[in-house]
Structure 1
Amino acid sequence: MQHFLNGRRLLWPGLALAALALAIVVLGGRLATRAYMDEAEARGQTTLRLAVSALTGQISRYKSLPQLIADNDDIQLLLASPDDQALRDVANRYLKSINGLLESSDIYLIKPGGDTISASNYDLPTTFVGENYSYRPYYQDAIRGGIGRFFALGVMSNMRGYYFSAPVILGERVAGVVVLKVHIEEIEASWRGGDFELTVTDPEGIIFMSSRPLWLYSSMKPLTSEMLARTTASRRYSDAILRNLPVSRFMADGRELLAISERGNTREFLEVAEEMPEAGWTVHVLADTGSARAQSLTAVVLALLALGLAALAGAIVLQRRARLDERMQMQQSAQQELERRVEERTADLALVNTRLETEVAERRATEQQLRQTQADLIQAGKLAALGQMSAALSHEFNQPLAAVKTYADNAAILIDRERVAEARDNVSRISSLTDRMASISRHLRNFARKPNQKLGPVSLQEVVHDTQEIVGWRLKAADATLSVDLGPSPLTIKAGSVRLQQVLVNIVTNAADAVEGLPDRRIELMARRKAGKVTITVRDHGPGVPKAIAERIFDPFFSTKGVGKGLGLGLSISYNIIKDFGGSLGVMNHAEGGALFTIELDAMRSAMREAAE
């Protein structure tokens, strides 16, 4: 009877304990699985951001280079005479040297029709010279005047690479295409051996980069006849065999998971992905869910152990009330059981702690890599700015130095003729120009100056007068005339006098270059005030600005002049100077012929002081 009563007293606590254990297994398991899945997804997102940043940096590093190569004189001369073997040899050596400096895979030149006429690998058995690539989308995009981007397996080299292409413009026509190919194996190799599987797919869903080589050229989407036809037409993967990756998608734990079968084994993955619209790629990071599920199971087991310990403690209390002897035996047994379970729990906790330490180390390594990447980007920005300032300083000194040389030569002649007064005047002008060059060197900050530097009132008449002094030698050399019309009353504008003088010197000098050798060599500079603005126009009577280059005329390093006659920075610097003044600089063709540059700046009441340069 006593045993029956004790049994009934233990029935309800036992049922409650069983219900609680079931709740831990079902609900607790779900919550733990979801939490560890969220953690795996967060780590996957971090890995994804790093992978996308690495790929984006690789693309950004090379995307502008084909256009710069297309502007090279040797390339343009070859396309003007594509059958000239001597020009081909010069272009081949140039492309080979550039390819070595850029550490790219290959650089080659294609003429209209798709035939390759020059390549950096011209002296190798696998040379591209003579091959026809008219079927490649990068050729088709560039020959239409656009910029080409394409990933493919090389037909000759059988090496994967990313292709950048740009048109070569001669006059107003596309005379050919420059193509630059870069390998991606180095980035791909850095993915292997990690906790995640990384893949990159093309617009058709075909894997062309992967941390698992066996997945290459597999499709994560069902292959259709249309997809195969498009891929075959562009020969994106040459003769590689395309196949479907044995992947299935399903919903579990409130999220979409992937199951991939490989060599008789099926692995479950959590996927995070991000598109790269510029390249047309999608980057996938696959996290094996086995680790998350094992951690979830460990958490459930620990919770059940804790519940079991609590239940055991309660049973001991009940047994104390029933029998003292049984209580002592149960206490001894429970102590032994507790020690064993504590040892197991300690071992489990040590294993979890080891895993956490590994994850912390991985995260620190990832953060260190990110900081290194940021430092590299900052250093690249500093080098680019240094290049711009050095090239700009050289360009801005060319014109005053030429004037100094002219005055010095004239002074020597005048001294020989004992015309000392006129020679002294030339020496004075040289001193003035030297001071001006010193001022320019101190204050050439168009790309580095802080945007909050103050500007002040500047007399336009004085700036134009100084400009005429500097460009006088150039006008005389071109046999050109500069007529100035500043209106009936003095004009004062908000600007900096030295930098505004730089702008006018650049524009007037370009106008002199445009009219040199023409019947009509007039250049007209006019300024008028209207509605709080001062508009300055400079018109020449030359051939005007071709439509093909009108949109690029203010780009850095863009020049229509030959080698040694300009860096292509003058108009770009002028544009940024006027922008810093809060004004605008534009160009158009005059209705009666010639180019018309227009500068618009804010007007001021009086020129009491000049802005600090």
Structure 2
Amino acid sequence: MIRSPILDRLSRRRGEWLAFAAVAATVLGLTAWLAGEVGRSRAAEALRAQAAGSATLNVAVLRAELEKQRALPYVLSQDPDVQAALAGHEPVRIAALNAKLETLVRGTRTAVIYLIDASGTAIVSSNWREPTSFVGSNYRFRPYFTGAVTDGAAEHFALGTVSKRPGLYISRRIGEPNALLGVVVVKVEFDQVEADWGQSGAAVYVADPRGIVLLTSEPDWRFLAEAPIAPGDAGAIRASLQFGNAPLTPLPLRPRDAGTAGADFAALPDGSLQLASESAVPSTPWRLHLLLPADDALAAGARTARIAALGGAGSVLALAGLLLHRRQRSRTRAAEAVEARAELERRVEARTRDLSAANAQLTREIDERQRIEAKLQVARDELAQANRLATLGQVTAGLAHEVNQPVAAIRSYADNAVAFLDRGDHAAVRDNLATVAGLTERIGAITGTLRGFSRKATGETGPLALVEALDGALMLVGTRARRLGVALDADRPEPGLAVIANRVRLEQVLVNLLQNALDALEERPEPAIRIGLAATPMEAILTVADNGPGIAPEVLAALFTPFLTTKPRGVGLGLVISKDIVDEFGGHLAADNAPGGGACFTLTLRRAP
């Protein structure tokens, strides 16, 4: 039987498509599996970074609480009232000290503060009014008492024998070992820290070196153990009453390997997967553990990677299918090949039109952006000019006094010249007129500085003698500095030291910095401003430092943010404008607090060749 060529072609085409479908299914399956593993691995890395950051933050919160409370026992051990109460056991002193510690607890947010005499009996306690008062209880068996007597200080986490509340006991010895007066103890409870951990969405707990959970955001986990504790050891721990009658059973966690994501995962009893992170708590033998929910993040990572990979593989397979289809068509009919080329040309033409339209739209958007940037530059220049005029208004009143002085002197010298002229003393007249000329030059210098500072800057930068801008700024703020009694000390630049800047705008920056320093020094004892200068082959570095109160840390972190100000009538734009001006010069403006106190601004400018 002779087969038709058409049937042969159809059979061959069908066989090619079946083989293509089998290959495509295999490729898509492998792609989905590999992409899922890669996505889970990447999601696990992101979870590890998130867990590390959260653990670092939680450790910092816990350490801050510990360091805050550790200073209290030392301060109380030096208190004369505490030493006198332990030495004399006088009822009046003890009653007064009970009230004092009661007030101190409210102010420091500690749980309890109490004094133990040399026999181990509590004689003073901040909870002396409460039914669970520690007064009269003997704590000689407690490690924090014996440790403080032996070593001078001790820390011990335990369940309160009276209050039945867990906490860290921080103790300090009063007196020498051979002349012991007693021990002061501060109990710190971490309810707020644990509550804050509970808001994070992760399970957090802190374990001691034995693996027993001391602090936790999960109340049911307290005093459980990371691993089974030997029965003998568990009995000894219970006998010490450190954790009361806690069962010390293992935590409800089981290790679980999350495949390619890594082995640092654990599962809760409900089967949910958790990323486990562990960090040391500095200054303690404790370790903080954080369990971050991982199921949703790993599934999302795998899903996203699969979608992207399948999209790419599908595109490639679609292209391969298209090539196969075109090959079959070209083999079947030459006319279909011509039609395919025509279709391709049509698509290219349409795509070209689209690209041309997109290019025209992009050109219009670029032109519009350039117009907006030009308007923005004008607005910035006008804002800088407004700031400059506002600053000028602050200094004009003081400079008016500077002008009035030479004007009054001119009047006096002119009257004297008339008298000398009547007497025929021409030499004296000549001297007086020379002095008058010098005073007019002084007035001209002052008004010239004001005119220059009030001009709208052109924005052009170039070589500028640094001494000119510094002298102009010092003249503008000098009167206010003298009126406030501020000692203004400045390193004078060499005439040849030139920087890349614009004089008017650089003067504006210097005046802003000096005005801010003067604002900070109002009503300060012995106010002073120091302008330092350092030069390298490439840069000139000016520092403006004062001995004022300095800059608060929260303000310093966002100092150059618009509208941030600490002044009652300030708008928070002076430093922002100053930083923008210095950035345009190719320089840098930074702020910090000086080691000796006060604020310090550092202005770095490029030196002119």
TM-score, scaled to structure 1: 0.49
TM-score, scaled to structure 2: 0.50
Greater gyration radius? 2
